[in-house]
Structure 1
Amino acid sequence: MRSLAIEKYCKPQDYEILDLPVPEIKSADELLIKVHAGSINPVDVKVATGAMKTFWPVPMPLKLGHDLSGTVIAVGSDVPGHFKPGTEVYSRSPEYCSGTVSEYALSTASTTALKPSSLSHIQAAAIPLASLTALQALDAADKNIDGGLKGKKVLIPGGLSGTGSIAIQLAKNVFGASKVITTLSTAKAAKAESLLGEGVVDQIIDYTKNDMAAVIPRGSVDFMFDTMGQALASLHLIKKGGMIVSVSSLPFGSDLKDLAPNMPAIIRWTLNSIGAVSKYRARRYGVDYSCLFMRPSAADLTRLSGWIEEGKLKPVVGRVTGLENLKEIREGCEEVLSGKGGTGKFVIKIGAISHGGGA
């Protein structure tokens, strides 16, 4: 089968389309899926550079991608009956099943859900990792902030990123935030309402013209979802009793226990120490700070599907290309790696799509 893959750590300009074996079901909870579309996330391209190899080594060749939308081909013996050959699904596959930008991929029943019928495969492939990250961050805030997020002021920088765009919609349309603030460039600010919905964003700060710290009143934000590494610089904007959840800071060593069980103790200790310092700084402002490491979850994907079908959420898809177009794939992956210029998710179509509302 064709697969976007690397044979050594490298940057996107060296990615290849390799001919690799079709994966085989080896565990009772696994599904083999014919992939119709897969998307690329920042973690995919960062791991491929080798930047995380000290505590997250990967075998080569490495097939890229963790998000997919496709059709079930075969199932293991313990897979629930609602998954059967021909079922359309979407998934954020577990780490050992990486390689969703391929003609076929494995996932598990615990990380796979039925594809929302209102979405095409290209749209559905843009959902899993980014939306699970956003949902789990907002769940944490809703649980830990007094009174939950309903009626609260929420700050989500980078509002047209894959994760930010879903987080904004969740905050307003699902969790009931009274005010959602984001940061965008001048060009992207003009697109926000059409992509996210009317009235979903209450305040857009053009970061090319203004520093958000100079625009947002001190101590006025209940919750910040840090998607751009601005958590500690923004502590003074958060109310006492408020919370910051970051997905762009170094994870705590304990968060990587399952992913990297062989991580050297000194690295785990170092990450925990850095995290402890950050939490201490936040506590001085009366703010709860945590770093989120997303967990794949079929249950959470099913919750997201419900809100999608109700019209409360819609994916923001930016670039779309085909697996046969390596030049465009490399360009799109480079854009994801740089974190500059892109809007929404970069999705790669795998072959002809004949189900679920077309492309």
Structure 2
Amino acid sequence: MASAARRPARGSSGGSARTVIPQLSWRDPQPAPVVLVSGPEEVCAERAIAGLRDYLRAEDASLEVSDIRADDYAAGTLLAVTSPSLFGEPRLVRVSGVEKCSDAFLTEALAYLENPQDGATVVLRHTGATVRGKKLLDAVRAGTGGGVEVPCAAIKRDSDKFDFAAGEFRAAQKRIAPTALRALVSAFSDDVTELAAACQQLIADVPGDVTDQVVERYYGGRVETSAFTVADTAIAGRYGDALIALRHALASGTDPVPLVAAIAMKLRTMARVAGSRESRTALAARLGLKDWQVDIARRDLSGWNETSLGMAIQAAAQADVDVKGGSRDAVFALERLITVIATRAPYGA
């Protein structure tokens, strides 16, 4: 029976108030009497809740789905939608807005945890925007009601966005080149929802592997203006392409300061990786990098030596000073930096 597979999840403390409930990935949520979907990242939360619905519906196509708003709650609703029907169909109850729940919902939800209904899965969505409902969250996390938690932390750092996008392709068993993936992430770095949609479009539309050329064909207008495109073309020694990419980036409103920072970050990573014969996994662990960062840095090092890399790093340091007010012409400072990197020679040589 479906309900038997969703017995209360208990820890080693025998169900005491200090029980810590399981924390599940939003990519692979599992049903339980109560599922707390917490955190601000709405894309992940939507995926988790949809995944739970699909899981339960695959178990029993007669699944009844109900939606409740915790902030506009009518007394008695939770018990009504979770109670067994005449034919005993499984029930999924999705509760939104728990971070702004009414007193009536809070009271009834706490009471429900003490006696969850058999065959019902109650999903509590709390964004973390407020501390409202904390007593309910604490009770769920303590193990009352036999729940699980699906954290949906904010995806803010570039490395988190890269991991998110990589996970999209991995989950679909679709291969994407690391450079293509980074270009895609750079193109949609401001909006995780758009990044997720772009990944899903490529997964759905592209029959084979996703390459740099595929990403360029789909999203070239956005990709070519990214700071990493400028850095990649310059480091690869493509001087003319690097200058064109720089002008496109500046024309599209890219700030010179983060652009120099992106270039400097790539150069520093190359310097840290240079000369090491360790496996990529061992080197990544020692340096605090991801495996893909080591792979890209090693690829980027082709054609570089200690002298040219040191000169480029010094040029990046000078450009950083210049674009932060040290020079009256930030564009010239950027062009000089690109020239040093792409030609691997002192400016004007």
> What range is the shorter-chain TM-score in?
under 0.3
Q: TM-score, normalised by structure 2?
A: 0.22
More helix by share: 2
More strand by share: 1
Task: Indicate the structure (1 or 2) with the bigger Cα radius of gyration.
Answer: 2
Q: TM-score, normalised by structure 1?
A: 0.22
- Kindly indicate whether structure 1 or structure 2 has the higher relative contact order, using CA contacts under 8 Å at least 6 residues apart: 1
